[in-house]
Structure 1
Amino acid sequence: MSVRVGILGATGAVGQRFIQLLDGHPTFELAALTASEDSAGRPYREAAKWRVDSPIPVDVAEMTVRETTPEAVPDDVDLLFSSLPSSVAVDVEEDFARDGYVISSNSSNDRLAEDVPLTIPEINPDHLDLIEVQRDERGWDGALVKNPNCSTITMIPPLAALDRFGIERVDVSTLQAVSGAGYSGVTSMEIIDNAIPHIGGEEDKMETESRKLLGDFDGAAVTWHDMDVAASCNRIPTLDGHLENAFVDLADDPDVDEVADAMREFPGVDLPSAPNQLIHVFDDPERPQPRMDRMRGQGMQICVGGVQSTDHGVKFNCLAHNTVRGAAGASVLNGELLVENGYL
């Protein structure tokens, strides 16, 4: 089965990662690229300042960039991946869905909307059925599906594995790569020989999205998880890979081996972009490290290390590639889930 797809916001950092991940994909055929009015009408090789660590696919380089409007995208495109700025996406994505397109979006708008699935296929695939509620309430034929923030998606798989022990509270401190801010988001004068102990809006995303992701879906609505979450988010001078230090209070009292086994054995999904093992747990207390481990599972695996007991539960470190698993790869995986579940 071949599914024709497009990318909204194709010239930016995450848009470029979409192109890299879709090159040679067994199901998705890239058929449309959109960007701003300044880029529209130009060959992609001219419109995008390519920065991904592999060449632009030859066929993509010559594709003409289109305007980001439903009228500019061919009707036979079945699925759109969105990496638009949220300030633009908040209106544009709904225009496309209203026009019948299905959108798998990395943009932050609408993630907490009651009728919008916020989905990680290995964690809460049943939430995808919120699409039925969304279509009924909004009266459109298309659909809008979101993946979570790059820092949230790093800690959620380990937390999902621990939920069997009764998660009561999570405190997390992040060490986030500069690529998470986009290519012009943090200047070299700000970040070299430095760390920035604030990332606007990031803490709130972690504290809210995590509770929706781990919530229960009853067929009509998602009841958020009742755990408390407190986050402190920091930018550090690594290029890619968000490292996080998590402290989790549990109702039960599992030992370290039980915790590590629960993470290692947490089931994955049989989708083309999914890693064979979702969570890799290191015995070495000095791992994971961004430079060494961010590309495990082709950048789609979650790495955990430093698992230790505390007076109230456990603590551990976790790592994920923020523009692969935490952004474009997450949207591609959601797109594969949409195909698997018959929503295209």
Structure 2
Amino acid sequence: METNQKMKVGVIGATGMVGQRFLTLLEDHPYFEVSVLAASARSAGQTYEAAVGDRWKLSIPMPEKYKTMIVKDAADVSAVAAECSFVFCAVNMKKDEIKALEEAYAKAECPVVSNNSANRWTPDVPMVIPEINDAHLAVIEHQRKRLGTKRGFIAVKPNCSIQSYVPLLTPLLKYGIEEVVATTYQAISGAGKTFREWPEMIDNVIPFIGGEEEKSEQEPLRVWGKVENGVVVKAEAPIITTQCIRVPVVDGHTAAVFVKFKNKPSKEEILNAWANYSGKPQALELPHAPKQFIHYFEEDNRPQAHLDRDLEGGMAISAGRLREDTLFDYKFVGLSHNTLRGAAGGAVLIAELLYREGYFN
């Protein structure tokens, strides 16, 4: 398809925080045009503005073009699929319900790019950080055979927490990473909330985020896995242990990371690996690809969520405080924007890659 003819896209779960992010990112997109909005049955039939009501959660205002669009019921798969070429999915439902819904869209020949976790461990569903494991898109062919589709498939993005350290560890894998300890300090928007809705987070830290530590330890191994016989086989190493903590920050997940190597690199080698690391999105100059994937700060007090999360449209990864450690080989701090790189922005980047690689044809 020619890029001057925009591809019609739907957003399922359009009223939630990630759905709202999708709409702002797609407002003036060079490849895609939002043609249909879908949400729960209680929002269906209303204008988007009425369905959202006072639950608009972003600091930027609701784009005018969506206000009068009538919201469809996400469960009405054929009606939604008829109006678009593919959908972004960011629904708030039980895992098995999400899995069934996403598969129903795929079987209706409407590809799904999902922000949800339901299909992250489905063996033939690619879970992609486009700069790192675009090769995993090859399993889509196998998935289509399983689903019996010509065009339909599901592709997902990994958890927001891992985006603050997996991109920083990936260019260092060549030195034989053996052990990783990561503590993440996660923004409240990761729970889809604002301070207005969650006042008990003000002046508070909560040392638990349900399910997050397991995702943070296991999902990197799937991202680093390899494709065998049409499925993704997860990597066996390194060993990763994490603690995930909710902190009173609006946006931006920070990670404090400790790493042990088989072949310890010099500090210079690490900094060079970060500075020179790029992937398919940079080569293709995709609209939401950061020009420089990893930014390293020399200052002792960086990266900071407030100052650095919006770097390159919230799509770059920031790093700082790289130094040798007494127990491990090195320690450093990473930062990513959890609703941009970590959620809607990451999914839009996957869709841009799928589009350019011909998967939507």
Alignment TM-score, normalising by the size of structure 1 = 0.96
Residues 310 and 337, structure 2, Cα contact 8 Å, conserved in 1 = yes
- What does residue 210 of structure 1 align with? 220
Residue 260 of structure 2 aligns to a residue whose secondary structure is strand
- 1:296 partnered with 2:305: no
Quote the offset at 1:205 in angstroms. 0.5
One-letter identity of the residue aligned with 2:244: C
Among 11, 36, 39, the residue aligned to 1:35: 39
Instruction: Provide the aligned C-alpha RMSD in A.
Output: 1.6
- 1:247 partnered with 2:245: no
Moved runs in structure 1, 4+ residues, more than 3 A?
184-189
- 1:166 partnered with 2:172: no
Counting aligned pairs with the same residue, the percent is: 40
Provide the rounded CA distance (Å) in 2 between the counterparts of 1:330 and 1:299.
10
Quote the offset at 1:289 in angstroms. 0.5
Residues 79 and 335, structure 1, Cα contact 8 Å, conserved in 2 = no
Among 7, 19, 33, the residue aligned to 2:23: 19
Alignment TM-score, normalising by the size of structure 2 = 0.92
The 5-angstrom pairing of residues 326-341 of structure 1 reads 326-341=342-357
Residues 124 and 213, structure 1, Cα contact 8 Å, conserved in 2 = yes
- 1:108 partnered with 2:124: no
- What does residue 155 of structure 1 align with? 165
One-letter identity of the residue aligned with 1:47: A
Quote the offset at 1:248 in angstroms. 1.2
Residue 33 of structure 2 aligns to a residue whose secondary structure is strand
Residues 118 and 148, structure 1, Cα contact 8 Å, conserved in 2 = yes
- What does residue 314 of structure 1 align with? 330
Quote the offset at 1:189 in angstroms. 4.6
- Deviating more after overlay: 179-188 vs 233-242: 179-188
- What does residue 183 of structure 1 align with? 193
Quote the offset at 1:193 in angstroms. 1.8
Distance of aligned partners of 1:219 and 1:264 in 2 relative to their CA distance in 1, 3 Å threshold: farther
Distance of aligned partners of 1:335 and 1:185 in 2 relative to their CA distance in 1, 3 Å threshold: farther
Quote the offset at 1:76 in angstroms. 4.6
Gaps of 5+ in 2: none
1:166-190 Cα shifts (integer Å, max 9, x gaps): 1111110011001111127996453
Quote the offset at 1:159 in angstroms. 1.0
Quote the offset at 1:74 in angstroms. 4.7
- What does residue 45 of structure 1 align with? 49
The 5-angstrom pairing of residues 232-271 of structure 1 reads 232-268=243-279, 269=281, 270-271=285-286
Residue correspondences, number: 344
Residues 81 and 108, structure 2, Cα contact 8 Å, conserved in 1 = no
